[in-house]
Amino acid sequence: MGRISCFPAFSNSTMIQLFNVSKQFGQNMALADVNLRIRQGEFVFITGPSGAGKTTLLRLIFGAQRPSDGSILISNINLSRIRRDKLDLMRRRIGFVFQDFKLLSGKTAFQNVALALEVIGERPSVIRKKTRQILRAVGLNGKETLYPPELSGGEQQRIAIARAIINEPIILLADEPTGSLDPDITKEIMLLFRTINLRGTTVVFATHSRELLRDTEQRTVLIKGGCVVQETAPTLDAQP
Ligand SMILES: Nc1ncnc2c1ncn2[C@@H]1O[C@H](COP(=O)(O)OP(=O)(O)O)[C@@H](O)[C@H]1O
Ligand SMILES: [Mg+2]
């Protein structure tokens, strides 16, 4: 795994590649013959109406589901060809953020984030230090001991983002992460994703919201009925 841990912030190298990927659920073709290349350090929006296949695409990239056909390479590693234990290691390098946050309501902000380090056997002193740092970085200073129900939607999403990035993922996948947030908070959360991206993490952000994409300079991939129907060119502004 060493080879995927230390990339420079942005380059021409490929981070995610889909070759003729299809995903079928019974008779339903959720994705049909999708080809897509996402470079290291890019910020890409995946957009399209509800049912288009956005979530399926993210889940395939995460290795949570296998394609029915075609192949997916993450940093040149074919997800279909690696052993289960290697796939688990790979998934630790990919963060995932959801619309509904998926936090543990019986644990504090600090505990929700620390858990991501506990499960990989990190030392308690390191866990304390890193968790404090990351909570500060996402703007949750002073909220460490509060439980998700005591926090606003935007604050809860910040916890989920902290949890997703604490292991310094090479890729951050976000599935409608602002879908439950009001416009002002959405702007703040978008800024946070952009900051994470500018620090070198490749971000793939799924949204059905046209509002969110209005005026965006980021690359946008439009899918409909499981097919990529439109794609803008990669932006170069992330280049250092
Ligand atoms: N686990 C599943 N079982 C059966 N059908 C599914 C499953 N996941 C997704 N689908 C179907 O695949 C299509 C794409 O769904 P999805 O990827 O969730 O779209 P989006 O995220 O763009 O709304 C939909 O028709 C959906 O019903
Ligand atoms: Mg979805």
Q: Which atom of ligand 1 is nearest to the CA of 23?
A: 12
What is the band of 4 on the pLDDT scale with cuts at 50, 70, 90? very low
What integer pLDDT is reported at residue 171 of this predicted model?
A: 98
30-42, pLDDT tens digit by residue? Answer: 999 999 999 999 9
Of 174, 138, 167, nearest to 155 by C-alpha is 138
CA of 188 relative to ligand 2 center, distance in Å: 22
Interacting residues of 69 by C-beta distance below 8 A, sequence separation 6+: 20, 21, 22
State if residue 51 touches ligand 1 by the CB under 6 angstroms criterion. Answer: yes
CA of 54 relative to ligand 2 center, distance in Å: 5
For the residues 156-184, what does the mean pLDDT come to? 96
- The answer, yes or no, to whether residue 239 has pLDDT greater than 70, is no
Provide the CA 176 distance to its chain's centre, in angstroms.
Answer: 10
What is the band of 234 on the pLDDT scale with cuts at 50, 70, 90? confident
CA of 51 relative to ligand 1 center, distance in Å: 6
What integer pLDDT is reported at residue 235 of this predicted model?
A: 67
What integer pLDDT is reported at residue 8 of this predicted model?
A: 46
Q: Which residue's entry shows tokens 């916890």? A: 159
Q: Any idea which ligand is nearest the CA of 59?
A: 1
Whole-prediction pTM value?
Answer: 0.93
Residue ranges per domain, the chain?
A: 41-65+84-231
Provide the CA 231 distance to its chain's centre, in angstroms.
Answer: 19
CA of 144 relative to ligand 2 center, distance in Å: 30
Q: Any idea which ligand is nearest the CA of 47?
A: 1
In this structure, which residue's CA is closest to atom 27 in ligand 1?
51
Residue whose CB lies within 8 A of the most ligand 1 atoms, among 23, 25, 34, 222, for a mutation test: 25
For the residues 17-31, what does the mean pLDDT come to? 97
Assigned fold of 41-65+84-231 = Rossmann fold (3.40.50)
CA of 7 relative to ligand 2 center, distance in Å: 30
61-113, pLDDT tens digit by residue? Answer: 999 999 999 999 999 999 999 999 999 999 999 999 999 999 999 999 999 99
Of 166, 205, 167, 210, nearest to 189 by C-alpha is 205
- The answer, yes or no, to whether residue 157 has pLDDT greater than 80, is yes
State if residue 50 touches ligand 1 by the CB under 6 angstroms criterion. Answer: yes
- The answer, yes or no, to whether residue 9 has pLDDT greater than 80, is no
Edge-to-edge strand list for the sheet holding 94-98? 94-98, 171-175, 202-207, 43-47, 219-224, 227-231
